[in-house]
Structure 1
Amino acid sequence: MKKTSIIFLLFIYVLSSACKEEEISPKEIILGKWEEIYLGNGEERPLLVPSGYRQFLSDSVLIEYDYATKKSFEKKYWIDSLLHIGTQRQDGFWLIFDYKYQFYDDNLRLETNNFSTIFNVSISKK
């Protein structure tokens, strides 16, 4: 009886671990083009027309493209518990902005962290 119980518990454990979804790393989810659909302070009102996109590449390069000017800017990013976006000034000094991030339904919600802005929340769609 004891052997049967152990085998049964082992069988249940193997089945439960096989059924779990693999968690995808934020470093993988963020890759690709994201078009901003909301900018504000949490009211969740969509933008009428996106002004551009951010494209996160696998080599930690971020390309920001503006539709109106047709100009792009290259920045660096890295992600851990926060999303860090950095740009180097002409004098060599790095400006780094930190964001709290959340992924849901092909959306990326960014909230400014440790700096003040007029709009502190943006939501982008892949």
Structure 2
Amino acid sequence: MAGLSAHSPIPTEIRLHQRSRVLELSFSDGARFELSCEYLRVFSPSAEVRGHSPAQAKLQTGKRNVQIAAIEPVGNYAVKLVFDDGHDSGLYSWDYLYELGIKHEQNWQQYLAQLEAAGASRE
């Protein structure tokens, strides 16, 4: 299971800032990321969002003001993020959260381009 390798950084702190809608993550290797709730919702690892193949992925729109309502631990390898729009089916492994942090700018620019191409909005 992703997030369990002996060399994977693991979170040392996970803090939700509800006012700014940002999840702050600090990892054992010293990396620190601030990821918006919108970003985490749009890049949910759930089959509902990603599908079972890239062709089945669903562009997420209208998520600008989404909030994380709860963070639930899943064993020693992941968290389940519960969003206030009802989405709660993605398990965010430590590896996946780290990858989202490392690739934040690239992922976000790709997402904005997909929205534009679809004539869709973050609102």
The structure richer in strand per residue is 1
Identify the structure with bigger relative contact order (alpha carbons < 8 Å, sequence gap 6+).
2
Normalization by structure 2: what TM-score?
0.31
Normalization by structure 1: what TM-score?
0.31
Larger radius of gyration: 1
The structure richer in helix per residue is 2
